[in-house]
Amino acid sequence: MAQAKPRVLVIGGGFAGAACARALHRADPQCDVTLVEPNPTFTACPSSNSVIAGLRDIAAQRFRYEAIRGEGITVAQDEATALDPRARRVTLRGGSVFDYDRLVLAPGIAIRWDALQGYDEAAAAVMPHAWWAGDQTLLLRRQLEAMPDGGTVVVSAPPNPFRCPPGPYERASLIAWYLKQAKPRSKLILLDAKDSFSKQRLFESAWRQLYPELIEWISLSNGGKVISVDTKTRTFTTDFATYKADVGNVIPPQRAGKIAQIAAVADATGWCPIDPVSFESRLQPNIHVIGDAAIAGAMPKSAFSANAQAKVCAFAVAALLRSETPSSPKLINTCYSLVAPDYGISIAGVYHPMNGQLADVEGAGGVSPLDAPPDFRALEARYAEAWFRTITADTFG
Ligand SMILES: Cc1cc2nc3c(=O)[nH]c(=O)nc-3n(C[C@H](O)[C@H](O)[C@H](O)COP(=O)(O)OP(=O)(O)OC[C@H]3O[C@@H](n4cnc5c(N)ncnc54)[C@H](O)[C@@H]3O)c2cc1C
């Protein structure tokens, strides 16, 4: 009798899940791979800050699943709503039931709607987060366009860990770029729940040069941590003061996507502890967690990390299905940020399993030089666009 094909279910068709389904199908064409994703079109967050600044069309952010289907992978357009880890069974909203040998969870983030007083889903329609790309991105763009010259934009950044550590600072930079061109009497206040942030020296140096009177960053120690918001008055309240916004962008605290909580693979932090070699959950056997939802040690929550983890996980799952031991990986992350359309900066890191976590490989990686000339910054801005084309082609085909 022919051996049954091993069944792997991948939940979430973003940078992690889509890349994992493709890598697994290539690593083991005999494997029966199903990707579950509710949206027919994926809208990418990287480069969405450029949409907010009016530098890019949202259409450039959108990707479909035809190429993945064309490779022979089943894509179920549905949402996973229930999971029985013992029975290895997942139920979708539409009622279908899938049994699996191994499950990969890649649901991205959920927003902690209970973390900031006054900030719930209804409030996001007035003071957008734009931390999932799509309608929220366009709403923030429209609000900036409608704001009169001389207005105040307030952006609040959450505590660590959260999706895309340099993201709030790139966003503040590109909004400032737009204000400088279109509404030069305006101001941007960046309220932060932290005292330091990714690529900080590079961002601050660029802000001094490009937006000296425009951006004001208020750190945790200076009272930047937002504790509540009020959509009626568009105000942000911190421990120290209240800030009135004409346009308010709340980037709230986050945790792993809801299905991770349902699957009981998230711990008390809200994120998912994993084995750094196989990305198998430390809380449930046969379930792997990749991308933003995972606790990946020193690796930041980025699309590049998600894509890299996806491939490592795919090879580990293929090995485990053959009853082999997965080999220890090295992973890379590179992240470009735009401070202006022709001003890019970057950070890169290399990671490996160490003492049960993903740790930095000492001496590898680095950031853009602090004293680089303008043509270097312009080149990095072009690399950022090339990076986006490469990662999206690698993930979605
Ligand atoms: C403004 C901004 C700028 C950014 N810029 C960069 C950048 O320049 N470079 C970079 O590397 N990263 C960047 N990022 C970070 C990057 O977007 C994320 O790290 C990346 O999307 C994580 O991939 P993921 O697959 O874990 O999650 P996602 O890409 O969010 O994918 C998760 C998918 O899972 C699906 N899903 C969720 N729950 C279920 C369920 N129950 N059933 C089925 N499907 C489900 C969702 O619909 C979604 O499609 C940025 C993020 C933001 C917000």
- The closest-lying atom of ligand 1 relative to the alpha carbon of residue 334 is 11
Percent of the chain residues past pLDDT 90, beyond the cut: 99
Instruction: Report which of 13, 10, 12, 19 is spatially closest to residue 393, judged by C-alpha positions.
Output: 19
What is the 293 CA–ligand 1 centroid distance (Å)?
9
**In which band, very low, low, confident or very high, does the pLDDT at 81 lie, cut at 50, 70 and 90?**
very high
The atom of ligand 1 lying closest to the CA of 310 is: 25
Ligand 1 pocket test: pick from 55, 302, 390 the residue with the most ligand atoms within 8 Å of its Cβ: 302
pLDDT above 70: residue 1:
no
57 C-alpha to ligand 1 centroid (Å): 19
Mutate to test the pocket of ligand 1, among 34, 255, 292, 385 (most ligand atoms within 8 A of CB): 292
Cα within 13 Å of Cα(302), Cβ side: 26
Work out the average pLDDT over 162-183. Answer: 98
How far, CA to CA in Å, does 111 sit from each of 105, 256, 280?
17, 8, 24
The finding on whether 161 has its CB within 6 A of some atom of ligand 1 is no
Query: Residue 99 forms beta bridges with which residues?
Result: 89
pLDDT at res. 32: 97
11 secondary structure, DSSP code: E
Ligand 1 near 257 CB (within 6 A): yes
pLDDT tier at 2, thresholds 50, 70, 90: low
CA of 137 to the centre of ligand 1 (A): 14
User: Residue of the nearest CA to atom 30 in ligand 1?
Assistant: 108
Q: What is the pLDDT of residues 191-238, one digit of tens each?
A: 999 999 999 999 999 999 999 999 999 999 999 999 999 999 999 999
Cβ of 49 below 6 Å from ligand 1: yes
Ligand 1 atom nearest residue 336's Cα: 8
User: Tell me, what's the pLDDT at 4?
Assistant: 85
Query: Could you read off the pLDDT of 21-79 as tens digits, one per residue?
Result: 999 999 999 999 999 999 999 999 999 999 999 999 999 999 999 999 999 999 999 99
Which of 75, 78, 46, 79 shows the shortest CA–CA distance to 60?
Answer: 46
pLDDT at residue 378 greater than cutoff 80: yes
What is the phi/psi pair of residue 293, to 5°?
Answer: -70, -25
Contact 128 CB / ligand 1 (< 6 Å): no
Q: How close is the Cα of 15 to the center of ligand 1, in Å?
A: 6
Q: Which atom of ligand 1 is nearest to the CA of 262?
A: 41
Q: Which residue CA neighbors atom 27 of ligand 1 most closely? A: 108
What pLDDT shows up at residue 176? 98
pLDDT tens sequence across 101-155: 999 999 999 999 999 999 999 999 999 999 999 999 999 999 999 999 999 999 9
- The response to whether residue 301 sits with its C-beta less than 6 Å from ligand 1 reads yes
> What tokens does 125 get?
């329609």
Q: Is 139 close to ligand 1, i.e. is its CB under 6 Å away?
A: no
Two tokens at 230? 């009020």
Measured from the Cα of 49, ligand 1's closest atom is 1
Q: Supply 242's token pair.
A: 């209240």
Give pLDDT tens digits for 244-300.
999 999 999 999 999 999 999 999 999 999 999 999 999 999 999 999 999 999 999
